[in-house]
Amino acid sequence: MDNTGDSRRPIPTAPMAQSSELNAAPGGGPSLLFGKLDDMVSRVAAAADAARRFLFSQQHEEGYWCGELEADTTLESDYILLHTLLGTGNPERIRKAANCILKHQNEDGGWSIYLGGPSNVSASVKAYFGLKLAGYKADHPALEKARRKILELGGVTQVNTFTKIYLCFFGQYDYMSVPAVPPEIVLFPNWFWFNIFEISSWSRGILVPLSIAYAKKPFKKILPEMGVDELFVHGKSKKHMRLPWAKTLVSWRNFFLVVDRVTHWLEAVHIRPLRSIAIRAAEEWILERFEGSDGLAAIYPAMMNSIIALRCLGYSLDDPQMIRALDEFEALGIEEQDTFRMQPCKSPVWDTAYALFALGESGVPRSEVRLAAAADWMLRKQVTRSGDWAVKNGRANPGGWYFEFNNEFYPDVDDTAMVLLALAQVDHPDEGYLHKSVERAKEWVLSMQCKNGGWASFDKNNNRMVFQYVPFADHNAMLDPPTVDVTGRVLEMLATSDGTRQRAAVKRAIKFIQHEQEPDGSWFGRWGVNYIYGTMQVLRGLRAIGEDPREAYIQQAAEWLRMVQNSDGGWGESCESYDDPNKKGVGTSTPSQTAWAVLGLLAAGDTRSDSLARGIAYLLRTQGKNGNWEEPHCTGTGFPRVFYLKYHLYRTYFPLLALTSYAKAMAEAEREMASR
């Protein structure tokens, strides 16, 4: 189904760019846009064909796609830390992981969490400690530079909770000075105001095993020269290690800090009557979620913490559960000639759905055997058992999809909607089976709609914002509230079927989207960087579901996209926009973000503006000979302000989708003109 909306509506468009503007090529090179429409169409078609061939070349023989998922050096640092703690690991891999860390050191001596970003104190302390554990000495030039920068950033006491607890494992921080993560939280009933199902799914996966480690307080003795005493600005003073009180006496932060101090005091005087019961419950919770998944929650930090928790509980290294957990953890690694890096997880369902969708939209026949293979692979991944989502949505039947190879407790709405969009591009030989799977998934997605009309990722109504003030919530991802980017994708998906029975849900979703729009017309992007992504997702959803693109709020969003276009014709936005909204839409042009902007403009009815034409010219000009594009920057978001992602296939399937969507829109515009 063509999700570009009702093309019969007359849509106001910006003036057609003059051919002289289109022909101007940066650097005086040959023109890529072309005064003649036929030439433009042929060039776009050739570029799309090359991108299709490249994308098909990346398909696995089993039918799926899975591009590398790249993050920052905290993963390599933690990899070294974990194996040092366990007394395991391949020395050659440790050496290569250290090389990878050094390779990404900033000029100022620190380490950032995204390319071109400022040095981050937590990432820098982890890197410094990881290098020391790998055998580097304090007088190494790289460590000397790092030490100066870390002290400038405030030293070890400024790092986040997870880093502090990891340092405690080696005697480098005081357990009594870190935020308490008591395992008793697992015992809180689901009806209680605070329980583990009131925090995000990924936080549960990270914190439950970490609570076991916090309770058991493991200690690994290391050589004094491996320590980080030199990174404490005021020395190892407990006064300076503890979290500071908020200036406002009566505040949620101070309330939770009081609870934290009381918890520490009770532990100090050994008043913890439920501790053994809580640890056992946490262990059972972890082991239950090992089943049907590639490690706990199938994400790096949860997998790492679960390994530490099992070891704290007395599991030997040759225990089947430990062997399995370690094997799944190591499978995230990518080893090259002289470097070793870790992925935060793997993204086969997401990549396969988007690749199939882009290929289908680009004109690959619905009967193409390679598309059918991808559809078959995805259909086998549909979840048919209840998971954590069912705690708040117990009446719904399962039917979603997850992100990774195996993660049955954690299907998510965004992946499910994308899979359904992809399946709509394929003629499956077993139509009954396909229809049943699709309908089951749509019912599940509709059941996950939140009270305010939006959709979140993994849970329903997971939005008690007060919990962001909990002391151990400084990873900035304690909750999973509804977001406009997920909601926009759901609307686009719902447009693929009869919308009569979902009309009320759509109206509520549109109202949510309108409420969340920024004053300048843009929308925040939770899962992609950032406002360009959010705006594109909303505009595509609104157009697909039948909203009139002439609506003022839609045209305002399109005008914002045109306003933030770069002089080279592309669009870019740095992860910095999560820290400073004044930087929204500002950054080096990238293929994926340019494609997002093009898709957003097209969804808003813009088929003729100079801005659109220059965006297409950018994609044509930057395409490589192999049909792919280069993209060094992170354009994916894990946790805003904390953790970012570089999807290696974003630079392929998004430009392909943009080019072919543009070609369709141009062809439709020509048909309309011819019929007048």
Output the domain CATH number for residue 332. 1.50.10.20
pLDDT per position as a tens digit, 499-532: 655 789 999 999 999 999 999 999 999 999 999 9
Compute the average pLDDT of residues 666-676: 80
pTM of the predicted structure, to 2 decimals: 0.91
Closest CA to 560 of 592, 528, 527, 530: 530
Instruction: Answer yes or no: is 167 within a domain.
Output: yes
* Cα radius of gyration (the chain): 26
Q: Above pLDDT 70, what percent of the chain?
A: 93
- The pLDDT assigned to 498 comes to 65
Q: Rounded distance, CA 379 to CA 644, Å?
A: 29
User: How many Cβ atoms from other residues are within 10 Å of residue 629's Cβ?
Assistant: 22
Q: Are residues 57 and 119 in the same domain?
A: no
Q: Are residues 131 and 261 in the same domain?
A: yes
Lowest mean pLDDT among 50-59, 193-202, 572-581: 193-202
Q: Above pLDDT 90, what percent of the chain?
A: 80
Q: Is the pLDDT of residue 37 over 60?
A: no
Instruction: Answer yes or no: is 406 within a domain.
Output: no
pLDDT band at 9, cuts 50/70/90? Answer: very low
Q: Rounded distance, CA 359 to CA 346, Å?
A: 21
pLDDT per position as a tens digit, 114-161: 999 999 999 999 999 999 999 999 999 999 999 999 999 999 999 999
Q: Are residues 142 and 44 in the same domain?
A: no
Instruction: Answer yes or no: is 402 within a domain.
Output: no
Angle between helices 74-86 and 300-312 (to 10 degrees): 10
Compute the average pLDDT of residues 64-72: 97
Q: Which residues contact 540 (CB under 8 A, 6 or more apart)?
A: 3, 488, 489, 492, 599, 600, 603
Phi first, then psi: give them for residue 571, nearest 5 degrees: -125, 150
Q: Are residues 30 and 82 in the same domain?
A: no
Instruction: Answer yes or no: is 599 within a domain.
Output: yes
Q: Are residues 533 and 624 in the same domain?
A: yes
Q: Are residues 106 and 250 in the same domain?
A: yes
Closest CA to 283 of 217, 344, 180, 213: 213
Q: Are residues 627 and 603 in the same domain?
A: yes
From 342, 377, 394, the end of a domain falls on 342
Compute the average pLDDT of residues 74-97: 96
From 309, 342, 375, the end of a domain falls on 342
User: How many Cβ atoms from other residues are within 10 Å of residue 194's Cβ?
Assistant: 14
ω before 34 within 30° of 0 (cis)?
yes
- Note whether 443 and 401 are within 8 A (CB): no
Q: Are residues 15 and 84 in the same domain?
A: no
DSSP 8-state secondary structure symbol assigned to residue 481: -
pLDDT per position as a tens digit, 340-393: 999 999 999 999 999 999 999 999 999 999 999 999 999 999 999 999 999 999
Q: Are residues 183 and 263 in the same domain?
A: yes
Instruction: Answer yes or no: is 45 within a domain.
Output: yes
Instruction: Kindly list the catalytic residues.
Output: 414
pLDDT per position as a tens digit, 179-195: 999 999 999 988 888 88
Instruction: Answer yes or no: is 94 within a domain.
Output: yes
Q: Are residues 531 and 642 in the same domain?
A: yes
Instruction: Answer yes or no: is 502 within a domain.
Output: no
- The pLDDT assigned to 540 comes to 98
Question: What Cα–Cα distance (Å) separates residue 618 from each residue in 28, 571, 587, 597?
Answer: 14, 9, 15, 12
Question: What Cα–Cα distance (Å) separates residue 424 from each residue in 74, 347, 657?
Answer: 39, 21, 15
For the chain, the residue count is 676
From 288, 321, 342, the end of a domain falls on 342
pLDDT per position as a tens digit, 151-163: 999 999 999 999 9
Q: Is the pLDDT of residue 553 over 60?
A: yes
Instruction: Answer yes or no: is 165 within a domain.
Output: yes
Q: Are residues 54 and 185 in the same domain?
A: no
Question: What Cα–Cα distance (Å) separates residue 640 from each residue in 54, 61, 460, 572, 637?
Answer: 31, 35, 20, 17, 6
State the residue range of the domain holding 542.
Answer: 11-61+524-676
User: How many Cβ atoms from other residues are within 10 Å of residue 655's Cβ?
Assistant: 31
| 660, two tokens | 């072919």
Task: Give me the number of domains the chain comprises.
Answer: 2
Q: Are residues 545 and 577 in the same domain?
A: yes
